[in-house]
Amino acid sequence: MANRNLCERLSEQEILLADGATGTMLEQLGLRGARCAEEWNLSRPDMVGLIPHKYAEAGSDIVYTNTFGGNRLRLEHAGLADKVYEVNAVGARIARDAVGEEVIVAGSMGPTGGFMEPLGSLTPELVCDVYAEQAEALVKNGVDALVLETFSALDEIEAAIQGVRSVANVPLITTMSFDTGGRTMMGVTPEDALHALLDAGSDVVGFNCGSDLETAMHVAEAMSKVAPPDAVLIAK
């Protein structure tokens, strides 16, 4: 585990630098043809490990695992539903081995790709179970923190938080993705996102993977204005 807990470092008002994108880096390394990016954890761990290593060398305090699409529902589409534990366990160990103990390793968990009822077939119980399964695999294999990232629906990420918290007591980062209009695809405002994510049990809240820098600045300002004094924000 990293020398000092993520929340401990943030409580001292230390500003931490996270890594950059994973998917585009995999493409730059020439990886092609996998059913999903997470499959490379199993077939090309050497190449996947170069990404957190390079980010750590560049000065990142936090690196993410290559497990964004490592939940059961996403892996089902790639024919890897029986590999949930292995994909996440190997992904966690790849990142840890690449950066050692001084850099914080955060287990990345993206959205399911589906919609919650009544728009889709997802139920809170299913989502909770799916993320409990993924979080448990990541934590058992050495991540220092967990990240729920790039969500657009509050009901989905709230159920995901519940699932994570049912199996893991590590620091939890949660982020949503905002479009040009300053809302998520499902219409969530930055202010509502911040309050809901904190209330649901997140340690760090914020946004990632938006449309442009102007939108990012708007979201950052909106969240900062309504954040409690002790809230910790992330922009990625």
Nearest C-alpha neighbor of 175 from the set 217, 121, 219: 219
pLDDT reported for residue 46 = 96
Q: What is the pTM of this model?
A: 0.95
- Give me the DSSP letters along 14-45: ----B---SHHHHHHTT----SSGGGHHHH-H
* Tens of pLDDT, residues 51-101: 999 999 999 999 999 999 999 999 999 999 999 999 999 999 999 999 999
Residues of the chain with pLDDT > 90: what percent? Answer: 85
Structural domain of 39? 6-235
Question: Which pLDDT band holds residue 34 (cuts at 50, 70, 90)?
Answer: confident
Distance CA 97, CA 103 (A): 11
pLDDT reported for residue 210 = 82
Distance CA 222, CA 80 (A): 40
* Tens of pLDDT, residues 167-196: 999 999 999 999 988 999 999 999 999 999
Q: Which two tokens stand for residue 102?
A: 């001084």
pLDDT reported for residue 112 = 98
Q: Is residue 70 part of a domain?
A: yes
When divided into structural domains, the chain yields a total of 1
Q: Is residue 1 part of a domain?
A: no
* Tens of pLDDT, residues 3-18: 467 888 888 889 999 9
CATH number at residue 77: 3.20.20.330
